[in-house]
Structure 1
């Protein structure tokens, strides 16, 4: 906003549904690259909520803080074309390898990670599952951007988010270790509804 109280050029541009997006220049906000940026930003915020709202072990909190920094690197990468000059910040295989090591570490600390579970349990785990869902949306958005602009968008960003969703799943299971996960019981709702209907029929018969 300028000294006269009028919105500046960037604010005017946003009001038209367009945005200046790094080295890509001016783009519509509906562009796949901008959507990917927004979804990654939302995923990072979801991780921040999980960290702030529930007490986490030091190892988990430290890992997630590093992840949040990585995600800012990632959105910076999305704003820089891979075609042409080397970007200042880019997601490279080393980012993914570090997540793989973290996944292995937390898997080894946890027991009985088999089976399907419901996204709940303790507050910390529930928020981690929610963050994982946000990361999944971000990953899908990044892959759509890769498909739309294969020569421009860095594929390593999609690989990183894929691994990150696994890391969040493993940490959520670990957080629930003491209390126990809520297991998925296939068809249980249908069975309960059927039983309830039978009970009502017996009572009114």
Structure 2
């Protein structure tokens, strides 16, 4: 996929449509474009988390590994966006899902079982990991909506689901490695 843009604006989308790689024109609110947009938002938020992790790794070296595991996810999200833009393009492989599952298992063993609901907070890094997790869930919902209209490959759907799980465990691991207590949910007082 060696696409090069020589001109950023084309004016072809000014009337609310955009082109897919297969030549189709669809509305900018088409479920396919909505899914691509959510993946792009997630990828941008993940980029922010990775930048913050890299900066924080100087103080907390244990955070470097988290960044190393998450960094390829930006590229795979771009691959998945490519699959959505070009349905004949198939980039995501089962091995990438297995890579995420292995990291989830390894990290979950370190943080231990979840004994209470936790809130997105405790440090900026923890909160940003939760922001990414919530955007992954949103991207998953958009992909599932598209899947109901135009079936998608199972690998893409599974990947986004596992990525949200990985980000949840990453938030917990960041807390542990930063030495920050997780912010536990406190139920409202009952009358």
TM beyond 0.5: yes
CA distance in 1, matches of 2:124, 2:113: 20
Please identify the structure whose Cα radius of gyration is greater. Answer: 1
Q: Secondary structure of 1:39's partner?
A: helix
Asked if residue 143 in structure 1 is aligned to residue 144 in structure 2, the reply is yes
Assess if the C-alpha contact under 8 Å between 1:18 and 1:29 holds in 2. yes
User: What RMSD over aligned residues (CA atoms) do the two structures have, in Å?
Assistant: 1.9
Q: Which residue of 1 aligns with 2:34?
A: 35
SS in 2 for 1:114: coil
Q: Which residues of 2 match residues 1-205 of structure 1 at below 5 A?
A: 11-23=10-22, 25-54=24-53, 55-56=56-57, 57-82=63-88, 87=89, 89-150=90-151, 153-177=152-176, 178-188=179-189
Cα distance, 1:9 vs structure 2: 10
The one-character-per-residue Cα deviations of 1:21-46 (angstroms, maximum 9, x if unpaired) are 11262211111111100000000101
Contact kept? 1:51, 1:61, Cα under 8 Å: yes
C-alpha separation between the residues in 1 aligned to 2:32 and 2:106? 33
Equivalent residue of 2:186, what SS?
Answer: coil
Q: Which residue of 2 aligns with 1:202?
A: none
Q: Structure 1: how far apart are the matches of 2:85 and 2:160?
A: 16
1:81-104 per-residue CA deviation (whole Å, 9 max, x = no partner) reads 24xxxx2x4223222111111111
Deviation at 1:111, TM superposition (A): 3.0
Q: Deviations over 1:50-96 (max 9, x none)?
A: 122342511101111111111111111111224xxxx2x42232221
Which 4+ residue blocks in structure 1 deviate beyond 6 angstroms?
Answer: none
Task: State the SS of the aligned residue for 1:12.
Answer: coil
Provide closer, same or farther for how the CA distance between residues 26 and 184 of structure 1 changes in structure 2, counting only shifts above 3 A. Answer: same
- The count of corresponding residues between Structure 1 and Structure 2 is 176
- 8 Å contact 1:60–1:171 — kept in the other structure? yes
